[in-house]
C-alpha cells in the first residue's frame, strides 16, 4: 500500500518556507537567503502532488480532468481573492502605468503565466522597482502550474514505457536539469530566475522522492536523525550564506532543495521532528499558501507609499497578514476544496476559473484603453510616466545585446548622428553606453558624424577587467571587447566613443587607462562619457510627489568620485570627456527632472527623452563631437 497518510512535519516544513520568505521580504539583512523558501515549496509541491498522481497511476484511476479540477480548487479561490483585493487597493494607490501593470499581471497570475510578464516588465527580482509590484510573488505559481501541465503526462508515459527504470530515468533527468540550470543561470541570469526550464529540477526532485516513497520504507532512528540534521543544515546554510547577489537558481538552488528532500525523507519513518510538528508550526503550515499570497501585496503597497517597515510596522504587518491568511484559509480555501470535489469538472472550470479570468481580462483591457484611469490624477502624472517608458535598451534592442549574444555582429542599421555611408566611428560599452545613445545622436548629427553603436549588457569597455562580473560574463565580455578592438584596429575610425558603468575604486584606474590608451593608438579621437549620478527613486519620486501632493525632495548631491580620471586626463590629453552631470547636477545638486523633463527610467539609467535632453543642453552650450584641436571646450570636465 502507498504511504499516503497525513504528515504534520510537511506542514511544519511549509511553515519554515513561508516564514523564511516573509522575513526576507520584511528585511533582507535579517535572512539574506530567505528567498530559498520558494524552492522548499517547490520540493514539497513536487513530492505531495506526484505522490497522489503516481498512486492513481498505479491503481489505474488517474484522470487528467480530476487532476486539474483539484488544482483549480486548490489554487484559484484564494488566489482570486487576493487578486481582487490587490486590484481594488491598486485603484486607489497606484499610478496609471503601475495600475495597468497590476491589472495585466492579475490576469496573467490567474492564467499561470505571470512569471513571463514579470520577467519582461520588471527583470531582476531584487531590483528596486520590483519591490513595489504587488503581484511579483505570483511568478512562483506560474512555475508550478506550467510544471503540472507537463509532469503528469511525463510520469504516465514513463510508467507505461519504462516502469522498471522510472526512478533511474528521473534521477538522470534531475542531474541533467541541474546542469542546464547552472549553465543557463550564468548566461541568462534574469530569465533563469523566473522561467520553468531552470527550475524544473526543483519540483522534479520532490516528485522523484514521492515515487521513491510510494511504498513505505523502513527508516531507522539513526538514519532519520542523520537525514534530518543534514537537511536542516543545508537549509540553514542556504538561508544565511546565500544572498540576492548569488547566482540563482543553478547549483545554489540545489542546496535548499536537497535539504527539503532530506527532511521529507527523514519524516517518512517513525521519527517525528518536534520543531516541525508542534501546533504553531503546523498552523502556519496549514495557512502557508494564503500567507504567501497575502504577505507580499501588503509589503509592496507599503514600499510604494514609501512607508518604512520599522519593527512596529513590521509587527503590525505580520499580524494583519496572519489574520487575513487565516480568514482566507478558513472561509475560502477549505470550503472551496470541499465543495469542489462534488461538482462536475465543467462547472468548476467555468465558475472558478473561466469567469474570474474573463472578469480580469475585461479589467486589464479597460485599464489599457483608459491609460490606467489616468483621470484619477493631474495630467502631469501621465506625462512624466510616459517619459520613463522611453527605454533606450528597448528602442535600440537590435543594437544593444543581452550578454548571451556577445558574439553578435555589428548591425549596419545601428546608426547615431548623420545617416550616411561610411560610418565615422563606433560607440561601445554596456547598458550605460546604450542609455547615452540619444545624447550622442543629438551631438553627432549637426556635424555630419555617423557612429555605429555596438553595446553589450554588462560589458564595460575595460579590457582585462573582471571586477563585479560573473565568470561567464567575464568570458563573454572579454570576447566582445576583443572583437571591438579588432574592429577599431582594422578600421582606424576617426571617432570612438567609450561609455560604461565606470568603477569607483581607484584600483580600476590602471585597467581603464590602459584600455583608453590602446583605443587611442588606433583612432583619430577617443571620447569618454563619464558616469551620470545615481539618484534614489529617480524615475518614481517626481511622479509620486505629484500623485500624493507631498514635498519629498527628489534630488541628490553630486557624489560620484572616481579618483583616476584626473590622472588619465593629464597623461592622455588627446582624449575628450563628456560629463552628463553638467546638465543633471547644476550647482552640485542632481535632479531627475530638469525643465519639466524626467531624465531617468530607473535609479541609474536615463530614459531616451532624458538622454536626448542632455544632448541638446550640451549642444546649446557649444559642445560638439567634431574634432578641432584649436576649439576651447568649456563644457568638458572631469572628476
- Give the chain's mean pLDDT: 92
What one-character-per-residue DSSP string does 91-138 give? HHHS-HHHHHHHHHHHHHHHHT-HHHHHHHHH-STTSTGGGG-TTGGG
Cell numbers at 608, concatenated: 531616451
Distance in angstroms (rounded) separating the CA atoms of residues 637 and 577? 7
Whether 220 shows a pLDDT value over 80: the answer reads yes
What per-residue confidence (pLDDT) applies to 634? Answer: 37
Distance in angstroms (rounded) separating the CA atoms of residues 487 and 484? 5
Residue 606 carries which DSSP code?
B
The larger pLDDT score, comparing residue 464 to residue 382, is at 382
Whether 471 shows a pLDDT value over 80: the answer reads no
Whether 629 shows a pLDDT value over 60: the answer reads no
Whether 633 shows a pLDDT value over 50: the answer reads no
For the segment 329-338, the average pLDDT, to the nearest whole number, is 95
Q: For the chain, what is the total number of helices (H) and then of strands (E)?
A: 28, 11
What per-residue confidence (pLDDT) applies to 125? Answer: 79
Whether 535 shows a pLDDT value over 90: the answer reads yes
As assigned by CATH, the class of the 387-620 domain is alpha beta
Distance in angstroms (rounded) separating the CA atoms of residues 318 and 281? 15
Whether 195 shows a pLDDT value over 80: the answer reads yes
pLDDT tens by residue, 244-267: 989 999 999 999 999 999 999 999
Task: Return the sign of the alpha-carbon dihedral for residues 374, 379, 383, 388.
Answer: negative
Distance in angstroms (rounded) separating the CA atoms of residues 638 and 529? 10
pLDDT tens by residue, 117-142: 999 988 877 776 789 999 999 999 99
What per-residue confidence (pLDDT) applies to 4? Answer: 60
Residues paired with 451 in a beta bridge: 416, 425
What one-character-per-residue DSSP string does 379-406 give? HHHHHHHHHHT--HHHHTTTTEE-GGGT
What per-residue confidence (pLDDT) applies to 561? Answer: 73
pLDDT tens by residue, 150-178: 999 999 999 999 999 999 999 999 999 99
Give 3's pLDDT tier (boundaries 50, 70, 90): low
- Of 373, 408, 443, the closest CA to residue 616 belongs to 443
pLDDT tens by residue, 379-421: 999 999 999 999 999 999 889 998 888 899 999 899 999 988 8
Planar angle of CA 401, 404, 410, nearest 5 degrees: 40
Residues in the chain: 639
pLDDT tens by residue, 539-575: 999 999 999 988 889 999 998 778 899 899 999 999 9
What one-character-per-residue DSSP string does 449-494 give? -EEEEEEETT--S-TT--TT--HHHHHHHHHHHHHHHHHHHHH--S
Distance in angstroms (rounded) separating the CA atoms of residues 399 and 397? 5
Whether 77 shows a pLDDT value over 90: the answer reads yes
CA 189 to chain centre: 9
Task: Return the sign of the alpha-carbon dihedral for residues 250, 255, 260, 266.
Answer: positive
Domain boundaries, the chain: 8-374, 387-620
Taking the CA of residue 48 as centre, how many other CA atoms within 13 Å lie in the half-sphere pointing to its CB?
A: 20
pTM passes above 0.85: yes
Give 468's pLDDT tier (boundaries 50, 70, 90): low
Residue 28 carries which DSSP code?
T
The larger pLDDT score, comparing residue 206 to residue 458, is at 206
Cα distances (Å, whole numbers) of residue 451 to 418, 498, 589, 615:
8, 12, 32, 15
Amino acid at each position: 500500500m502507498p504511504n499516503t497518510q497525513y504528515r504534520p512535519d510537511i506542514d511544519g516544513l511549509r511553515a519554515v518556507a513561508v516564514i523564511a520568505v516573509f522575513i526576507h521580504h520584511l528585511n533582507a539583512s535579517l535572512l539574506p537567503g530567505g528567498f530559498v523558501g520558494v524552492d522548499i515549496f517547490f520540493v514539497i509541491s513536487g513530492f505531495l502532488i506526484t505522490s497522489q498522481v503516481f498512486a492513481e497511476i498505479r491503481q489505474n484511476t488517474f484522470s487528467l480532468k480530476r487532476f486539474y479540477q483539484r488544482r483549480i480548487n486548490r489554487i484559484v479561490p484564494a488566489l482570486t481573492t487576493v487578486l481582487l483585493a490587490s486590484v481594488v487597493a491598486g485603484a486607489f494607490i497606484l499610478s496609471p502605468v503601475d495600475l495597468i501593470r497590476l491589472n495585466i499581471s492579475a490576469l496573467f497570475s490567474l492564467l499561470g503565466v505571470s512569471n513571463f510578464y514579470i520577467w519582461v516588465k520588471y527583470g531582476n527580482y531584487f531590483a528596486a522597482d520590483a519591490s513595489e509590484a504587488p503581484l511579483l510573488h505570483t511568478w512562483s505559481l506560474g512555475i508550478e502550474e506550467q510544471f503540472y501541465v507537463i509532469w503528469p503526462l511525463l510520469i504516465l508515459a514513463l510508467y507505461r514505457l519504462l516502469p522498471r527504470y522510472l526512478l533511474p530515468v528521473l534521477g538522470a533527468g534531475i542531474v541533467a536539469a541541474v546542469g542546464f540550470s547552472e549553465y543557463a543561470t550564468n548566461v541568462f541570469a534574469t530569465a533563469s530566475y523566473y522561467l520553468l526550464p531552470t527550475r524544473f529540477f526543483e519540483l522534479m526532485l520532490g516528485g522523484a522522492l514521492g515515487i521513491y516513497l510510494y511504498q513505505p520504507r523502513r527508516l531507522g532512528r539513526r538514519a532519520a536523525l542523520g537525514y534530518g540534521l543534514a537537511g536542516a543544515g543545508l537549509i540553514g546554510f542556504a538561508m544565511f550564506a546565500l544572498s540576492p547577489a548569488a547566482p540563482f537558481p543553478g547549483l545554489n538552488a540545489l542546496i535548499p532543495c536537497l535539504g527539503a528532500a532530506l527532511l521529507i525523507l527523514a519524516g517518512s519513518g517513525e521519527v517525528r521532528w518536534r520543531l516541525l510538528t508542534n501546533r504553531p508550526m503546523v498552523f502556519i503550515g496549514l495557512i502557508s499558501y494564503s500567507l504567501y499570497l497575502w504577505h507580499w501585496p501588503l509589503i509592496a503597497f507599503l514600499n510604494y507609499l514609501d512607508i518604512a517597515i520599522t519593527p512596529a510596522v513590521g509587527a503590525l504587518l505580520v499580524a494583519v497578514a496572519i489574520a487575513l491568511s487565516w480568514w482566507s484559509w478558513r472561509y475560502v480555501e477549505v470550503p472551496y476544496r470541499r465543495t469542489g470535489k462534488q461538482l462536475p469538472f465543467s462547472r468548476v472550470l467555468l465558475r472558478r476559473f473561466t469567469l474570474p479570468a474573463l472578469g480580469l481580462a475585461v479589467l486589464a483591457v479597460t485599464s489599457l484603453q483608459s491609460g490606467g484611469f489616468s483621470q484619477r490624477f493631474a495630467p502631469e502624472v501621465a506625462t512624466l510616466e510616459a517619459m520613463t517608458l522611453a527605454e533606450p535598451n528597448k528602442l535600440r534592442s537590435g543594437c544593444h545585446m543581452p550578454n548571451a549574444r556577445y558574439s553578435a555582429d555589428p548591425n549596419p542599421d545601428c546608426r547615431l548622428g548623420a545617416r550616411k555611408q561610411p560610418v565615422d566611428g563606433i560607440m561601445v560599452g554596456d547598458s550605460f553606453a546604450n542609455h547615452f545613445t540619444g545624447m550622442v545622436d543629438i551631438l553627432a548629427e549637426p556635424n555630419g558624424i555617423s557612429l555605429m553603436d555596438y553595446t553589450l549588457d554588462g560589458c564595460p569597455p575595460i579590457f582585462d577587467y573582471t571586477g563585479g562580473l560573473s565568470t561567464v560574463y567575464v568570458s563573454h565580455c572579454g570576447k566582445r571587447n576583443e572583437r571591438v578592438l579588432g574592429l577599431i584596429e582594422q578600421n582606424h575610425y576617426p571617432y570612438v566613443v567609450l561609455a560604461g558603468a565606470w568603477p569607483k575604486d581607484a584600483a580600476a584606474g590602471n585597467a581603464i587607462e590602459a584600455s583608453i590608451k590602446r583605443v587611442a593608438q588606433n583612432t583619430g579621437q577617443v571620447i569618454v562619457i563619464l558616469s551620470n549620478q545615481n539618484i534614489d527613486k529617480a524615475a518614481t519620486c517626481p511622479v509620486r510627489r505629484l500623485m500624493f501632493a507631498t514635498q519629498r525632495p527628489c534630488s541628490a548631491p553630486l557624489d560620484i568620485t572616481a579618483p583616476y580620471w584626473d590622472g588619465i586626463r593629464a597623461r592622455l590629453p588627446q582624449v575628450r570627456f563628456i560629463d552628463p552631470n553638467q546638465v543633471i547636477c547644476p550647482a552640485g545638486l542632481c535632479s531627475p527632472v530638469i525643465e519639466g523633463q524626467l531624465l531617468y527610467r530607473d535609479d541609474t539609467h536615463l530614459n531616451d527623452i532624458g538622454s536626448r535632453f542632455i544632448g541638446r543642453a550640451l549642444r546649446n552650450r557649444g559642445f560638439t563631437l567634431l574634432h578641432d584641436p584649436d576649439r576651447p571646450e568649456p563644457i568638458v570636465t572631469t572628476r
